[in-house]
Structure 1
Amino acid sequence: MKKLLNLTLALAFSIVSLSAFAQDATHNLFSIHTFKVNLETDGSHLTEHDGNLYTWTVLNAAGTADAASTSYSFVTGSSAENLNEVEIQWLVAGDYLVQVTEQNASGACTTLRQISVKVNSGDVDLLVEACDAAGNPLVDYAVASPDLTPLSTCNDMSGKIITRGSNDFGSSVRYFKVSMTAGGVAWTEGSWKFDYVATAGTVTSTDATVGATDVNVALGTSSIVLKVEVANTPGPIASNSINLNLTASAVSINTNTGDVNETGTADNNKAKDAIVILPSPKTTDISVN
């Protein structure tokens, strides 16, 4: 009988322990989520709660203390009458309890509700890839032996007639796709920016604001295409090929509380292999006698 009692107590303790660590929701780092109570079926606020005071708090996983204020941010207010929903942005990975306290308008009686949330870890990460005009990467580096052929092509004036009396061999246009992730997912919940250096050419974009040394991307956009125009350099291949690459630095996203920088070694902040623009022969004008 004693053994049976011990087994029962052990099983009960295991169940309690499991429930204590179970998560009601799993969110990604830097994501914004809306927490709600007292909703009508159409999503509106239940009128029977009008005038009640709501106080929202974020606690540690055990519920014994407030979570660090730097680990989250209330996008909306956290305490007010009729505040039956709030937006919270997660800034640090970990386990949390989101709690709401509702107080009657006519008295001090309160009701508390809690929900447990696990916030996955992750970093701010920028990826730079050589691509076509539509943003499709030129090389699939996921395969065992990537095909680098698309990176090395003739200049855009190859095979075209050079105007008589001119030594203008024109220019070539190439593209780079720049993608931002935060917490392992595409970043669309804030603006982002980075500094850049191109080995040649002039950089522009219809997807972002491009300055002489920096790029600023608006809220809602997780990837952009940068267009680089380079003056052709005709002549022998060995000395006149253009090796074009683009490197990003000072990468950051903008959260509700300000900028969060990319940390660690920025391995993805430069296209893995340069785009090579091959020259055409520097053929002179045709002379006739």
Structure 2
Amino acid sequence: MAGVEETTQLDAAQVAVLEKKSRGLLALHGDDFVQGLDELAKFLADLDPARSALFQAIDQKGQDFATYFFAAYSDTRDAKTSFRIYRTIRSLVRYIVLMDRYYEIGKRKYKRMAEELLESVKADSEGYLKYAIHFSFAQCWPFWDSEKLMKERMLAGFDFSYKEIRYHNMFKSSDAPTIYGRVLDSELDNYNPNVSLLLHYNQALQDLQDDLDDLEEDLHEQMPNVFILGTTKAVPFSTLEKSPDSIREAVVRSKSLDKLTKLVKEYEDSAQGIAVPRQYDFLKYLAHSYAGKLYESIRASKERVSLVKVADTTVH
């Protein structure tokens, strides 16, 4: 069945290579570490590729599986244990995405696949996670109700404050500390609540990047994308929806990007100020990298709109 995870057993040669790559990462810092983690992510994906097109699509969105692998390796120095944790978190990400699609479009197929995945996770889990995973998800279920409310308000013509947008983004990214962080906490000796908070900020930064990348898709699907929510103070959603090809220009001209740049800076500064055990310092490199990518994406968006404006004024 597509929804069931098959156990992947690494052979001795694969474990040896994984150990070597992981040890190498321990010595890297800053941008070198970020690049090395990207390479490790590709290796992990090759070791255990998704077995269906649907899971391949989901995994492409789950960009930070290697982060959780390396968090586990930094604490345990055990590649096999870290690989098992990596697969558990990947299954949980797939579960969240499948349930998200179920709530969006109502196809029971997605709910059935998600439930099968969750049962496989419970069967393979170690520590208190065997019984705590259910309660972790119970903390996240309200997000779908919140997202539905935000969508209803957006379609009804409401606009949104900076604090509402921040709340929505942080609520959306709360699966990182509440669910995926719970996996790490159940098995790692040095994991603590500050690491959870840092994971939360990192996920929030990644979710902001996803919203910027997915502007057109989210407008079409009438989803409460934070950049669209930020634009509604200047342009009602009903107007934005009539001109989908101009959504990026509308976002730039509304100054929504300035508000979201402030939010990125707030997250980045907060992440850098969190005290965590030394082996988790790499999460701060990632926060800086995620923020840097967002600043560049925002700058490029503004630049493209400026170029279009200049081109328009030269037309006679």
Same fold? TM cut 0.5: no
In the superposition, the TM-score normalised over structure 1's length comes to: 0.25
Q: Report the structure number with the largest CA radius of gyration.
A: 1
More strand by share: 1
More helix by share: 2
